[in-house]
Chains A and B, each alone.
Chain A
C-alpha cells in the first residue's frame, strides 16, 4: 500500500488547524490511515487503497480537517464550462476506449507545486490506476496545445515525436524499445497493432498513453499557468473518478477547474463533474450494524466529519470518493467519525455448541501417542523442491509445481513427508542420538475428482535414527499406533527405492494401502550425510480416519 510523505507546515496550512504532535498522531491513526511517522517537518502515512482521494497532501488534509472538526461538511467545487472539445475517434475503441479530461487554469507553479502534482499523478497511477493499466493520467501545459484534441489509434510507426526527457524524435515502436517508460509500460500495449495517441488541432502529438508524454507539449514548467489533464482507460466511471480526485486537489492548490466537452461517436458528455452523488441514509441499518443508537442529528454530524453533506435523509457523497457503494460504507465512515476507540465492547449471550474438527482431534490424539513414545514432534513446511523430495530420496515422484515461486528452494508442493524428516536428521547430526522424530502434515497430488484437481491428505511420518535402529523398532511404534486405535493392519513385503530391499513393507487396512515402513537405503542416508541407520514409516491419516469412522 502506498505511503505519502507530506510537509507538515503545508499540511497544517491546508488542514486549517495545528495540533500538538501527540494529538496529531492519535487523530491520524483513527482517521483510517496507517501512521508511519510524524516529526516536526514531515508526516508519513500509509493510505489504504479504498481512499485514493487521500493520496495528495490536499486530499489528506481535506479529510483530516473535516475529521477534527476544523472544516466539516461537503465542499463545493465550482466548475466553469470551457467549451473546449476532445474527440474520441472510433479507431481507439479497440485499444484504450475512454478518456475523461479537464482544464485547470490559474495555477501558480513553482518547483514544489510541480513536484506535488507529479506526485499525485504517480501515486494514482500505482494504486487506483493499477500501474497505468486501468488509468493512465497525462498532464500538459495548456498554452502549448490547440483544441480540439483528438484521441485516436494509429500505427506506431506513424506516431513520431520527441518523448519526455529524450534527446530526439523517434516513433512509438522505438519508444517501447528505447525509452525507460516504454520499457517499463510497453507490455500494456502487447498485441496491439495500433497505439493510442492524443493529438491536438495542429496534429501535434501530446502523448501515447499509457506510456509517455511529448517533451514539447507534455511538460509543465514554472511558466505554466493553465494545464490540460486527461485520464485514459477502459472504464469511463473509473476515469471520471480519477479525474475528480486530481482536479479537487488542484482546486485546493488554487486552480480554477474548467470542464471539457467530449464527443464519443454519438455520445457526448462533459467532464469533470464535481456534483455530489446522493445516497439514502438508512439510520436503522447503520445503528444495527454498528451496535449504536444514534439519532439523525448525530448521524448528520458524523457524516459531515467525513466530508459528506447531509439533507433530507440523504448523504451527498463528495465527487472524489470512489468507495461508497453500499450503506455499509456509510456505516464505516460513521464508525470512524464516532471513533473506533469509543465503541464499548460487549459479548452477546448466544448459545452455540463448540465442536472440534474430527480429523484435527484424531491428529491431536496421534501426536500425543507418539510424544508418549518418546518422539519429538517437528513442524515442517509444505513447500519444498525436487532435489529434496526425489533426488536425495532416490525416488521418482510427481510433484505439483508452483507457477511463480520467487524461491527455487520452495517451488513445489510435497508429495511425501519422510524427506522433511530426513532433512531434519541431516541437519542435526551433531546432536545426541537416538533421534526420534515425527510430524503430521499435508501432501499433495493431482486428482481430477477434487474441486481444485488436487488431492490433499494428512500424513503421519516418523523416523528413528541411532546406531542400533532397525526395522523392528519402527514397526513396534507403528503396531502400537494400530493397537491404540483398535485397528487391524496387514504388512506385506514390497519394494521402494528409498528403502533397503527386503526391509520395506506396504501396510494396509481393510485392503487399502495406507503406509510404507522400512529401513532407509544406505545410499539415501549418504545423500543426506546421515551416519547412523534410519528406520521410518509414513501413513495416510486422512484415509485411516475415514476407515475408522466407517466401522
Chain B
C-alpha cells in the first residue's frame, strides 16, 4: 500500500499518537506524552489497529503498590535492618527493642526472618542474648534485596521483575501491610512494520487538511494541500428525523390504490345516529349487532335528528319492504331507537350517506374511505376499541357479483396479496354476502380480511330513490399493519413509543 495514501487517511488523533509508539508502549505513557484524554488515545489506537498500523495488546496483570507499612519501610528502612544495627555485638531482646524502636510484632517477625537468613545467633543464659553473625554484618553492608524492591517506582508489575527480584516480592507479599496486589488490565501498543515505516517516513502535519473552512475556500489555500481521507466504510452514530406515523403511511398507500382505481374519497362524522349507521342499512332494530355490548352509545346528547322523507322510506322498508318487492322484516319500526347517537360501528355509514346524495346522472360512481370505527371492547393484546376500516362501494346499474370479486382482487394484488377468495357469509345489508380471504404466502394459509357483498334493494332504493346494484366491502387493516411492522400486540400500533416511531421502517409496498 502506498504510504502517502495511508498517511492521508490518518485522523489528527492518529497522527499524534502513532509517532509516540516509536518510544512508548504503555498506554499510560502514550497518553501522557500525547497530552490527550485517554478516550482519545484509545480511539486513535483502535483506528490505527483497524488500519493495521498498530497492535493493541490487553493483558491482565498483577499490579503492585505500596501499603502503609511498605511506605514507611521505604523511608526508614526495614525493621530487620534496624534490629541488626541495634545488636552491635550482643544485646538482649529488650535492649534491641528499645534501640531499634520496634513493636512486639515487628520483633517477632525480625527474629524469624533474620534466623532464616542466618544473620544472628541466640544464646540462652540468664536471659536471651542475641549476637550478630558475619552473615548479619554482610547484610548490613550489602543491603536487603527486599529494601531494593521497595525503592522501585511503584506501581510495579510482577511480570516486569527480574528473576532475582522475585523472591523479595514473594517475601514481602507474605508480610503485613507492605504491599497491595491489584489485578489490572494493562494496555500496550506497538507499531506494526507498516506503522514503523510511516513513523520513519514522517507525518507531515502542515500539508494535510482536516476540514475545509470558509477561509480556505475564499483564499484558495486548499489548493496545495491534501484533504485527509476518511474511512468511509466506518459505522457512524444513528440519527432520526420527523416522519409520518406508520399507520398513516399505510393509510396513504391504501388511499392511493383506490384513487388509482378511480374511486372518490368519502369522509364523515364519528358520532352518528343509529338511523344512518344501522337503520339505513336495513339492520333490524332487534339485531344483535345493536347490543350495548358491541356498540358505544352516547349518553348526552343521547339523540340526533333524522331526515324526515328518508326516514319514512326506511321505516317502510323495515316494516314491509316498501316498494322494493321485499317483505321487509315485519315489525314495527321505532323512530326513537333510530335517533340514538352512537360511535360509528362501520364506515358503511358513509356509504349510506353518499348514496343518499347521488342522482341518476352521477352513475356509475365509485367511492372509498379509510377511517376509524368503534367497538365497545376492552383493550387487550388482540382487541382495540377504535380501529381502521377500509370501505368501498361501486354504484353501477351494471354491477354484479363477479365485479365485486374483481375489484377486491385488484385491490389486494396491489397490497401484495395476489390470491383472493370469497366465501359465503351473512350481513343484514348485503345479499349475497361474502367473507374475503387472502392467501398468505408466508403463513401458507388463508387469512380473513373483511366482509363484502351487494347491498340489498331494501338498503339502496330508500336511499337512492331507485334500484341499482351497489357493490360494497369493509376491510380490516390492523392485521396487515401488524404483519408488516412485526407487531404482535395490537395495542402497540397506537402505543406511540418514541423510540419505536423513530426506528419504524417506511411502508415500502
Spell out A's residues near B (CB within 8 Å).
Answer: 29-34, 48-51, 127, 130, 133-134, 235, 237-238, 288-292, 325-329, 331-332, 335-336, 340-341, 343-348, 350-357, 359-360, 364, 367-368, 370-383, 400-407, 409-410, 413, 424, 427-428, 431, 435-437, 439, 442, 444, 446, 450-454, 456
The reply to whether the CB of B203 lies closer than 8 angstroms to some CB of chain A is no
Question: How far is it, in angstroms, between the C-alpha of A374 and the C-alpha of B242 when the chains are bound?
Answer: 4
Bound complex: CA of A452 vs CA of B366, how far in Å?
A: 27
> Chain B residues near A331 (CB, 8 Å)?
431-432
Tell me, rounded to whole Å, the shortest Cβ–Cβ distance linking B348 to chain A: 17
B35 within 8 A of A: no
Give the distance to chain A from B243, nearest Cβ to Cβ, in Å: 5
For the complex, give the distance between the alpha carbons of A280 and B432 in Å: 18
Residues of chain B lying within 8 A (CB to CB) of residue A48: 425-426
- CB closest residue in chain A, given B362: A352
Q: List 29 A-B contacts (CB under 8 A).
A: A34-B425, A48-B426, A326-B324, A326-B431, A329-B431, A340-B423, A340-B424, A345-B420, A347-B403, A360-B255, A360-B265, A372-B242, A376-B245, A377-B242, A379-B245, A380-B494, A382-B270, A382-B372, A382-B386, A383-B385, A400-B298, A401-B299, A406-B376, A424-B496, A427-B497, A439-B245, A442-B270, A453-B301, A453-B341
Q: Which 10 A-B pairs have the closest CB atoms?
A: A291-B400, A48-B426, A32-B424, A291-B402, A345-B405, A453-B301, A452-B304, A332-B432, A328-B431, A326-B326
List chain A residues, Cβ under 8 A from B385. Answer: 381, 383, 407, 410
Given A326-B325, A336-B424, A355-B264, A428 contacting B454 (CB threshold 8 A): no
Determine the distance from Cα of A336 to Cα of B303 in the docked complex, in whole angstroms: 40
* B293 near A431: Cβ-Cβ < 8 Å: no
- A328 CA to B241 CA, complexed, in Å: 54
Tell me which of B49-57, B135-143, B327-335 binds A: B327-335
CB-CB under 8 A from A436, the residues of chain B are: 242
- The one of A359, A409, A444 in contact with B267, judged by C-beta atoms closer than 8 angstroms, is A359
**B334 to nearest A CB, angstroms?**
13
A348–B403 touching, CB < 8 Å: yes
Cβ–Cβ contact B376 & A404, under 8 A: yes
Interface string of B394-409 (1 = CB under 8 A from A): 0010111111011111
The smallest C-beta distance from B103 to any residue of chain A, in angstroms, reads 57
Q: Are A427 and B330 in contact (CB under 8 A)?
A: no
- Closest residue of chain B to A33 (Cβ to Cβ) is B424
Q: Which of A288, A352, A380 contacts B366 (CB 8 A)?
A: A352
Chain B residues within an 8 Å CB radius of A368 = 244
Q: How far is the CA of A372 from the CA of B286 in the complex (A)?
A: 51
- In this complex, what residue of B is CB-closest to A287? B400
The CA of A343 and the CA of B379, in the complex, are separated in Å by 39
Query: Interface residues, chain B, CB within 8 Å of chain A?
Result: 241-245, 247-248, 252, 255, 258-267, 269-273, 286-288, 292-293, 296-305, 321, 324-331, 341, 343, 364-366, 372, 374, 376-379, 385-386, 396, 398-403, 405-410, 420-426, 428, 431-435, 454, 456-458, 469, 493-494, 496-499, 501-502
Q: Complex Cα distance A335/B425, Å? A: 12
Question: A348 to chain B: which residues have CB within 8 Å?
Answer: 396, 398-399, 403, 406
The answer to whether B494 and A346 touch across the interface, beta carbons within 8 angstroms, is: no
Chain B nearest Cβ from A369, distance in angstroms: 10
A444 neighbours in B (Cβ, 8 Å): 270-271
How far apart sit A451 and B293, CA to CA, in the bound complex (Å)? 25
The 8 Å CB contact of A347, one of B379, B410, B421, B425, is B410
- Shortest B174–chain A CB gap in Å is 52
Cβ contact within 8 Å between B365 and A352: yes
Q: Nearest-CB distance from A46 to chain B (Å)? A: 10
Q: How far is the CB of A50 from chain B (nearest CB, A)?
A: 5
Q: Is the CB of B248 within 8 A of A456?
A: no
Residue numbers in B under 8 Å from A290 (CB-CB): 400-402, 432
Contact of A237 among B260, B304, B330, B454 (CB under 8 A): B330
B242 touches A289 (CB 8 A): no
Task: Tell whether A381 pairs with B378 under 8 Å between CB atoms, given A354-B263, A456-B269.
Answer: no
Residue from B255, B271, B325 in contact with A356 in the complex, judged by beta carbons closer than 8 Å: B255
Contacts A237-B330, A367-B248, A371-B241 known; 7 new A-B pairs at CB < 8 A: A289-B401, A346-B402, A352-B262, A360-B265, A368-B244, A375-B242, A454-B304
CA distance A385 to B406 in the complex (A): 44
Complexed CA–CA distance, A290 and B406 (Å): 13
By a CB distance below 8 angstroms, the chain A residues around B377 are 406
B243: chain A residues within 8 A (beta carbon): 371, 376-377
Find chain B residues with CB under 8 A from A292 CB.
402
Q: A353-B264, A382-B386, A427-B497 are in contact. Are A376 and B242 (CB under 8 A)?
A: yes
**Complex interface: chain B residues within 8 A of A289 (CB):** 400-401, 454, 469
The residue of chain B having its C-beta at the shortest distance from the C-beta of A237 within the complex is B330
**Cβ of B462 to closest chain A Cβ, rounded Å:** 14
Instruction: A406 to B287: give the CA distance in the assembly, Å.
Output: 20
Q: How many Å from the CB of A540 to the closest CB on chain B?
A: 16
Residues of B within 8 Å of A380, CB to CB, are: 494, 496
